[in-house]
Structure 1
Amino acid sequence: MRTGKGTFIYALHLRDSIIFVGQCIDIQKQIDEHAKSSRLQFDRFTYNFLEGIEPGSDAANTMEAIAVVRLRPLLNKGLPPTENYCTELHHFCTRYNKQDSPLCPVPLHLIEELVASQQLVPVYETGLRRYYRVADLYTLLEGEHTTVHSFSAEGGRAA
C-alpha cells in the first residue's frame, strides 16, 4: 500500500463486471467498509494511486468521472462534481456565461438545438440524469459561433 499523500481511484468487480468506481484516501479501510456492506457484493478490486492529488479535488473528481464514463459501473448513480462534465445544460449557460470567453453569452436555445439534433450526446446516463462533456459542447459551440457570429470584411454580418 502507498503511504504518501494522494487519492486512490478504485473499481469493485463482481465476476466479469465492474460494479462500482470510487475514490478514497485509505484503500484498505475503504475496501473493508465495502466488504462489510450487505448491499454491495464484489469478488475483487483494482485501484490506481494519484500521488499528490488531493481527494475530492477537481483533478481527483475528473479521474473518477473518466473512469465511470469509460467503465460504466452498474452501481454508480452519477459522476462526481467536476468542471469537465455537466448535467443541467442551463447550469452550463449560467456558469460559463460568467467567464471571459469568446463564446459568451451562450444561449440555452442553441444548446437545446444541439441536443435535439443529436450533435451533442450524453457521455453517461443514469436514471433521468444525462452527463455531457464540456469540451464537446465547446467544440460544437465554436463551430456554431463562427457560423452565427462571423462578419464580412466590409463590416456587415456575413450571410
Structure 2
Amino acid sequence: MASEYSFDVVSKVDIQEVNNAVQQALKEIETRFDFKGSKSNITLEDEQLVVASDSDFKLKNVVDILQSKLTKRGVPILNMEFGKIEPASGGTVRQNIKMKQGIDQENSKKMNILIRDSKIKVKSQIQGDQLRITGKSKDDLQAIMTLLRGADLPLELQFINYR
C-alpha cells in the first residue's frame, strides 16, 4: 500500500472535440432557415476560433449554436475567452474566441492559498501549467477535489493521474 497518494489538477480543452463541435455547428447553420444566404462561418486556427457573420445579431446566434455544440461534446465553455465583435471585410463582422490551455500562475496561486487555508493535510506544488496535490489520505484528496470544484475560478478544472 502506498504511503502517499496524489493527483494533478489541469485545465485543458480537447481540440479534437472542438473541431467536431465546429463541424456540427456548421452543419446546423447550413440547414437553418434563418441563415439561408448568409455568410456565416466558423474556422479553427491553432487554438483560436474565428466566428464570422453578416450582422451582430446573426453572429450572436452563431456563437449560441457553437456554445450548445461545445457543451454537448463536453468542452468547457469557461476556458473560452471571447474577444470583442469587430467589423470585417465585405460588410461582415467577426469575433475571435481564444481557448485557454493550462492553469496560469495567478490562478495556481489562488488555488494554493485556498488549499492552504482549508487546513486539510495535503501538499500542493505548481508544476508549469498544472498543480500536483499529494497527501497521506485519499479522503483528504477527495476533500480537496470537492473544494476546488466549489471554488469560484474562471476556468474549468480536470483531475488526472489520481493514484
Measured against the shorter chain, the TM-score band is under 0.3
Higher relative contact order (CA 8 A, sep 6+): 2
Normalising by structure 1, report the TM-score.
0.27
Normalising by structure 2, report the TM-score.
0.26
